[in-house]
Every structure is written in C-alpha cells, then in structure tokens.
Amino acid sequence: MFHRVPRMAAAAALVFVMAGCSSAAVTTAPVVTPAPVVTPAPVVTPAPVVTPAAPAIGSVVMIPKQVNNPYFDVAFKGAQQAATDLGGTLTQVGPSAADATQQIPFIQTATTQKASAIIVSADDATAIAPALQAAMAAGIKVVGYDSSPAKGAYNVFVNQADTAGIGKGLVDMACTEAPSCTGEIAVLSAAQTATNQNAWIDAMKTTLAGDTKYAGLKLVATVYGNDDPAISTTQAQALLSAHPNLKVIVSPTTVGIVAAAQVVKAKNLTGKVFVTGLGTPKGMVDFVKGGQAPVFALWNVTDLGYLAYAVAVDLINGTIKGTVGEKFTVKFASGSVDYTIGADGVVVLGPPFVFDAKNIDQFVTSFGF
C-alpha cells in the first residue's frame, strides 16, 4: 500500500536538504501551508420536537347544592380563578333550593352537553348517584366537593376538612361557650339528606360519647333549616321555645348559623344562649362582637373551589385517575400545596380556621367573604 506524500510536504523536505548543503544564504520563498479543504457539513434541519398536545380542558360544569347560597358563590369564585389560571370554561348551574330532585336534571343536562367534568356538592349522596354514574360512563370526570356523592359516583371527592376533626371542633366550641361546658345543646343543620352535615353530626355524637370531658353537654335536638334563611329562622325559634334551658345552638351551615345568631339577638337572649358552628367571617363578624357567637369556624372556601377545579383539570388531562396514593400539586395564589389522594378517592383541603373576637377582623379582610 502506497502512501501518497502530499506535494507541499515534499517541497518542504527539499528546502531542508538545500539549506544543509550550502553555507551560502539562500533566500527561499516562505512555505505556505494551504488551508485544508473543508467540505462544509450538510445543513441538517433538526426534526421538530413533537410534544403530544394536552387534551383541551373543555367545559366544566359546577353544580352546588343550591345557587343562591353565598357559600357556594365564594367556592365558584375560587373555581373561576382556577379556570383562568389552568384553562377551560366554567359555568355554575344548580337548583335554587337545596334539593336533590332538582339537582339531578342539571347533572343530566351537563352529560347531554358533553361537559368534560362535573364538580358537584351533593344534596343527597345516593339520589344523585345514578345520574353521576351515567355521566362517568359517558367519559365525564366527576369531582365531588363540600358534600360527597355516594362512593362509586365520583372520581375524586374534595373534602374541605377532616370529617372527624370538624365533629370534634364543633363539640369543643360548644364546650367553650356553654358555662362550665355544661347544659343542653342542639344542632340546626341544613338539608336532612346533606352528606356533609350528617357526617359532621355523627362525628359530634361520637366525640360527645367518647370523652368524659363532655359529659355535662346534652344534645337534645337536631333540626333542619334546609340552608334557607326563613326556614332556618323558624327552626331556631322553635328550638328555643321547645328547650327553654338550651345553652348552645350548633349550626354547621353558613346559612343556619347566621339565622340562629339573629334569633338569639332578637329574642334578647345574648349571654344566655350562645351560637357556634360553621360560618363566614363577614356573615358572623357582628355576632362575634355582639356576643351571640363568640367562636365559630370555617375553611378557606375560595381555596376549596380552586382545588376542586384543579382536580378536575388533572383528571381531564389524565395526570391523576383518582387512585389512592396519587400525588399532585396545586398552585394557589398563596403558594403551592402538595396533595395525596386518600382512601375512597378523598382529598382534604386542610384544617379549618377558628374565629373569635381576637382574629375576626383580620379574617374578614384576608378571606374577603
């Protein structure tokens, strides 16, 4: 095999020989090494990176227990903010009374209109279950919030707080308000069929029976105001007439607690009968300051709506399926929170806040509802 000597290399070798043979100064032309011939690399246009398109979020329908309840308006605002942040279009529709029979047609219409997700607070867990299962069979994601549909009739239920914790919190607040944690207490609830209300009342009974600390408290009645201001007022008045020794009305509903506090005030029973439960800071601030309801609790309802919508988006995208142990993160305006889906597909927003004279003004401002 022959190696070709490049021509210029040969010429350079020749110059060295000549310089070595003679002492005479020989001027030689400088050896110019030509630039190597560079074959330009072919221009390769990189293949575009193809990211599979995320499914469009589409239309999400929010169905509260009832539409004319300020609590659900706040949750809807939170969900609207999430729709702005995460995409999709959101509508809220629902019955004007907290009634499952009236709630079902809204679920059916959302199914016919091929919503991508339904976010629903159940007026009655089992009554609305078949309509929700039909929606799921049609490929619609179902997210329960606030009041749970029956198991198997939702993909994820967004619970506002731990149920047993709410029950214990309600009893503890009644214990604080009743003189020496003693006397008759009664519950003014919402609809008789409301899953969340009934679960909290059951948890209250478990708490009352489970600790001698509460032995002095006697639960004498549970009545239902249907989350209707007029019915709640009548029920509160009836409680006071039927139980003249009543010390505390516990109302785990934002509508009932206001009605009860108004009745106590109007009947000049301030300081004799106390009200507690779950209410909004704005709705209750005057009664905290007026002494009718020194302490009560709630969660951030705006965040509840935001979380429910974020879960719907993750289900639509397929990021989560609603399986126990799945993790996801939600970016609230206040910061990111990590969540894990628990037993029965339940996600818990977080612990509730307790309001009293010391912090109520601050919460009226920070919550804004």
Q: How far is the CB of 350 from ligand RAM (least distance, A)?
A: 15
The nearer residue to ligand RAM, 57 or 174, going by C-beta atoms, is 174
Min. distance of Cβ 196 from ligand RAM in angstroms?
5
Size of the site for ligand RAM (CB under 6 A): 12
64 or 88: CB nearest ligand RAM: 64
Task: Decide: is 235 part of the binding site for ligand RAM (CB under 6 A).
Answer: no
The answer to whether 102 touches 88, Cβ cutoff 8 Å, is no
Other Cβ atoms less than 10 A from the Cβ of 84: the count is: 11
Which region, left, alpha or beta, applies to residue 206 given φ > 0 means left and ψ of -120 to 50 means alpha? alpha
Q: Should residue 292 be labelled a site residue for ligand RAM when binding is judged by CB under 6 A? A: no
Q: Contact between 227 and ligand RAM (CB under 6 A)?
A: yes
| Span 187-216, contacts to ligand RAM by CB under 6 A | 190, 196
DSSP string, 204-268: HHHHHHH-GGGTTEEEEEEEE-TT-HHHHHHHHHHHHHH-TTEEEEEE-SHHHHHHHHHHHHHTT
Separation CA 79–CA 150 (nearest Å): 22
> Which of 75, 82, 107, 146 touches ligand RAM (CB under 6 A)?
146
Q: Which is nearer to ligand RAM, 186 or 298 (CB)?
A: 298
- Nearest distance in Å: CB 212, ligand RAM: 29
Give the nearer residue to ligand RAM in terms of CB position, either 125 or 320: 125
**CA distances (Å), origin 198, targets 80, 112, 167, 170, 206:** 29, 31, 10, 13, 12
By the rule CB under 6 A, 71 interacts with ligand RAM: yes
- Binding of ligand RAM at residue 147 (CB under 6 A)? yes
Q: Which stretch binds ligand RAM (CB under 6 A): 64-72, 263-271, 310-318, 347-355?
A: 64-72
Residue 157 makes contact with ligand RAM by CB under 6 A: no
Residue 260 interacting with ligand RAM (CB under 6 A): no
226 makes contact with ligand RAM (CB under 6 A)? no
Under rule CB under 6 A, residue 306 binds ligand RAM: no
Handedness of CA 253, 257, 259, 263 (dihedral sign): positive
Q: Cα–Cα distance between 64 and 145 in angstroms, integer?
A: 9
Residue 145 binds to ligand RAM (criterion: CB under 6 A) = no
Contact between 255 and ligand RAM per CB under 6 A = yes
Stretch that binds ligand RAM, among 23-31, 105-113, 126-134, 252-260 (CB under 6 A): 252-260
Closest approach, Cβ 255 to ligand RAM, in A, equals 6
Residue 184 belongs to what H/E stretch?
strand 183-189
314 forms part of the interface with ligand RAM (CB under 6 A): no
Nearest to 185 by CA among 97, 284, 290, 273: 273
Residue 287, helix vs strand vs coil:
helix
Tell me the one-letter amino acid at 293: A
Q: How many Å separate Cα 141 from the centre of its chain?
A: 16
Question: 312: closest CA among 87, 107, 161, 126?
Answer: 87
Paired with 353 in beta bridges are 298
Interface residues with ligand RAM (CB under 6 A)?
65, 69, 71, 146-147, 190, 196, 227, 253-255, 278
